[in-house]
Amino acid sequence: MTKTTPQDPTSTFRLDGKVALVTGGSRGLGKQMINAFARVGADVVIASRKEEACKALASEVENETGQRALAVGCHVGHWDECDVLAQRALEHFGRVDVLVNNAGMSPVYPSVLDISEELYDKVLGVNLKGAFRLTAVLGSAMLEGAGGSIIGVSSVAAAQPSPGEIPYGAAKAGLQNLTKSFARTFAPKVRVNCIMPGAFMTDISKAWPKATVEQLHKTIPLGRGGAPEEIVGAALYLASDASRYTTGTILKVDGGAAYSSG
């Protein structure tokens, strides 16, 4: 009787031959995901408002991994720029297999009365409108092609918003709703999931007041903010065939900070 060799369980996390697009991809959690995707075999599209930063990372990725990288300057709060981003990615690589809607922003405001219409629209545009448009366009292309995986990047503010992130929390809650509705819209060929991160110690966190960081240590069950690279496991799982039976899911990566994901 011939014995079958067990499959290496790590092989399902590979992205060989795939193309992954990450918005907000030039720094922070987006940069971590870009580097991780390239290191497991994916060609990548790096999108953010800062095109020069995207180009610098693209050059770094190509030199260090040998994978192809396309840099695209894009403000995802603008519908037409989302369409151009999708078109450029599809024309350059012929396909997009993984989309990560990671771009986000949460400006500080002194009070709710100081939230201008411009600020409100900008926050909803970057965090929600762009994700909707890119998911609609690239998800439709995936549906017509070989399928794919779409990942939203939400926030614990979607479930437990603070007074300082009201528009942001509303937008991220909307992103989680989009996750569930698009998962049904594009099933069964396209999986749509969402990562709900807590506080991560990216470059943005360097501007946080010391008291804020100390409070995080007290209130987060694991006693600290996340290291940027700690987002990679969740991203690789949802992007790859390792999660082929997972869709419509909100995956918390928050050190235990949020008590619920709804």
Active site positions, annotated: 168
Among 12, 3, 6, 9, which residue's Cα sits nearest to residue 243?
A: 12
Cα atoms in the Cβ-side hemisphere of radius 13 Å centred on 6? 3
Q: 3-state SS string over the chain?
A: CCCCCCCCHHHHHCCCCCEEEEECCCCHHHHHHHHHHHHCCCEEEEEECCHHHHHHHHHHHHHHHCCCEEEEECCCCCHHHHHHHHHHHHHHHCCCCEEEECCCCCCCCCCHHHCCHHHHHHHHHHHHHHHHHHHHHHHHHHHHCCCEEEEEECCHHHCCCCCCCHHHHHHHHHHHHHHHHHHHHCCCCEEEEEEEECCECCHHHHHCCHHHHHHHHHHCCCCCCECHHHHHHHHHHHHCHHHCCCCCCEEEECCCCCCCCC
Q: Report residue 2 as tokens.
A: 């011939």
Question: Which residues make beta-bridge pairs with 137?
Answer: none
Residues 6+ apart with CB under 8 A from 219: 257
